[in-house]
Structures are given as C-alpha cells and as structure tokens.
C-alpha cells in the first residue's frame, strides 16, 4: 500500500483535492450556512488566482516539496523516528500527530508575532467564509510555512507515506472546515471532539479579537481543547457574527488579488495580534457537551508597551 501511495502521490493528491472541492462547493450551493456579502465571481476569481500563484511559486522554489524533503531525510537517516526504528504503524500515527501539532503551533505563532500576522491577515481579511478561504494565503506565508514544514520533517524523520497522507488530509480538512455549511448539532457536537468542524473554525474568523485568537486547529481539535484555546460559539452566534478584520473592510483591498498581495505592506500593525489584543470580560455561549470559558484579560494599549 505504501509503495502504491508513493508511486501515485500526485494523482492521489489531485484526486482528493478536486473531489473534496466539488463536494463542498455543491454542499454550499444546496445548503449554505450564511448569506454571502460578495458574489462567488468576485471572490473565487481572486482566491483561486492566489492558489494558482502559490502553486507555481512553490513548484519553482521547492520542486519536490514536503514529500521530496521526506525522501531526502529518510535516505540520509535523519530524524528521531529513523533513530528509533519503531513499527511502521506506530511511526505513521506519531508522524501524523506531530505534523498536525506543528501546524497548530505555527498557526498560533502567525497570530502572536506582529510581523507574521501581517502575512496571515490576508487569510483572515476575507469578507466571506467558504471553501476557497481555506487556501487563501499570501505567497510569503506559503514559503515560510514550507520552510517550517521542512524543519519539522528533518527533525522528525517521518515515513514518506505519512507526509503524503498528511498533505492530503490537511488540504481536505481545510476545505471542509472553511466551507459555508452547517452540520446538524447532533453531528457537530460529537465530531468536534475529534476534528475541527465548520462551525468551530468559523469562530476563528470572527471580527472579534478574542474569538479570532481561539480554535487554531485545521484538522484535529484536540490541541485547542488541551491547550485552552477552544471556544464553542461566537457571542453573536453563527448567523450574527461578522467575518473578517475590523480595520480592513474594503472589498477592493481584501477580496481582489492585487489588494491581497499588497495587504501585508499596508499601514502599521495596530490591530490585534495575540500580544496586542483587547476585549471586554464576557462568558462564552454554552454548548451542550462542551466546557464554558470566561475570558478576563486586561486591555493592552500600544502606548503601554
């Protein structure tokens, strides 16, 4: 099975991408969760254009990408798992968990460091929220993300199959949990104990600072549960919440390709990053089966820093 996956990596990844994209797109048309602010033509042309640009850029800079890095690492015998020589199934499971946690940590860092937030806010500035938002990242963030992934692979020494599976799962889950769909409550509640659901991750795209700085997971929801960044629902509810960034609301700046490429270089970072945030004390809405939280954080102003 592993040799088949390695041999047909490109076909497998493309097939899953197109299949999940089509499924989520149809689902959004049949049963959308929220009304759109902009048309699909306005946003999809820009978001998908950014995906094409990033794909070409990565192919030019890193032709073999993460799978090529894994192949090199395994050939050289680098990394923890190559030193331990554990059973393949255990290495596969551990690699998937570590890679997912690394993406979670990276995501937190892109919120915590103002210079990195400049790049990451391209993802958050989208005025709507649908499956194309899940692939909307600035090219510089994509390059940094790939370098971070290379470092994790070099240190871990994961099986090549684990890296391929992780890439497939991550892309599919990013489209799923960014989709403009709503699962029935009886499905959503138990499912989010394992993976990130659309309603769970949509909270992360709220205009409210404390809500944006929660639910950082893209795939497994465990890290947010375990590390205290889980938030069940937005205060205004899924229908009442506002998507995007408070300081960036002009469609031509945030939902056009040229505006997205320039956004990291516009103005000072005066809006929130994790270390520059403010919100009023407020209990989070209770969800059956999920813990409640009360945020009590002192307002931090730039002139106090």
Tell me the per-residue pLDDT of 29-40, one tens digit each, with 9 for 90 and over.
999 999 999 999
Residues 249-288: tens digit of each pLDDT: 999 999 999 999 999 998 776 655 675 545 555 444 444 4
Q: Quote the CA–CA distance of 191 and 197 in Å, as a whole number.
A: 7
pLDDT of residue 301: 34
How buried is 39 (Cβ within 10 angstroms: 0-12 exposed, 13-18 middle, 19+ buried)?
A: exposed
Instruction: Report percent pLDDT > 90 for the chain.
Output: 79
How buried is 51 (Cβ within 10 angstroms: 0-12 exposed, 13-18 middle, 19+ buried)?
A: middle
With beta carbons less than 8 A apart as the criterion, state whether 244 and 267 touch. Answer: no
Tokens of 129: 């929220």
pLDDT of residue 292: 41
Q: Which residues lie below 8 Å from residue 245, measured CB to CB, with a gap of 6+?
A: 121, 124, 125, 207, 254, 271
- Report residue 302's pLDDT band, with 50, 70 and 90 as the boundaries: very low
CA nearest neighbour of 200 among 213, 187, 217, 184: 217
Please calculate the CA angle 94-18-206 and round it to the nearest 5 degrees.
70
CA nearest neighbour of 274 among 205, 201, 210: 210
**Radius of gyration (C-alpha) of the chain in whole angstroms:** 19
Q: How far is CA 261 from CA 93, 110, 120, in A?
A: 37, 17, 11
pLDDT of residue 275: 55
pLDDT of 93 strictly over 60 = yes
* Residue-averaged pLDDT of the chain: 88
pLDDT of residue 12: 87
pTM summary value: 0.87
pLDDT of residue 5: 75
pLDDT of residue 3: 72
pLDDT of 113 strictly over 70 = yes
């Amino acid at each position: 099975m592993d040799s088949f996956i390695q041999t047909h990596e490109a076909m497998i990844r493309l097939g899953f991408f197109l299949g999940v994209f089509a499924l989520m797109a149809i689902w959004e048309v049949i049963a959308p969760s929220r009304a759109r602010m902009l048309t699909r033509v306005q946003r999809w042309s820009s978001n998908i254009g950014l995906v094409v640009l990033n794909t070409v850029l990565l192919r030019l800079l890193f032709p073999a990408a993460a799978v090529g890095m894994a192949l090199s690492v395994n050939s050289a015998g680098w990394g923890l798992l190559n030193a331990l020589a554990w059973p393949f199934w255990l290495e596969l499971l551990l690699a998937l968990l570590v890679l997912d946690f690394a993406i979670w940590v990276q995501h937190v860092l892109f919120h915590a460091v103002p210079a990195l937030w400049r790049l990451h806010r391209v993802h958050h500035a989208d005025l709507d929220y649908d499956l194309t938002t899940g692939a909307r990242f600035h090219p510089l963030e994509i390059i940094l993300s790939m370098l971070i992934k290379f470092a994790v692979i070099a240190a871990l020494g994961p099986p090549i199959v684990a890296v391929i599976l992780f890439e497939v799962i991550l892309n599919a889950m990013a489209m799923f949990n960014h989709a403009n769909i709503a699962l029935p409550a009886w499905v959503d509640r138990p499912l989010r104990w394992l993976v990130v659901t659309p309603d769970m991750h949509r909270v992360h795209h709220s205009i409210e600072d404390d809500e944006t700085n929660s639910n950082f997971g893209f795939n497994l929801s465990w890290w947010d549960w375990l590390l205290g960044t889980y938030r069940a629902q937005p205060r205004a509810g899924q229908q009442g919440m506002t998507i995007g960034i408070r300081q960036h609301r002009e469609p031509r700046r945030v939902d056009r390709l040229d505006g997205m490429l320039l956004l990291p270089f516009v103005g000072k970072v005066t809006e929130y990053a994790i270390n520059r945030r403010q919100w009023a004390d407020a209990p989070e809405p209770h969800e059956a089966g999920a813990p409640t939280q009360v945020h009590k954080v002192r307002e931090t102003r730039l002139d106090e820093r």
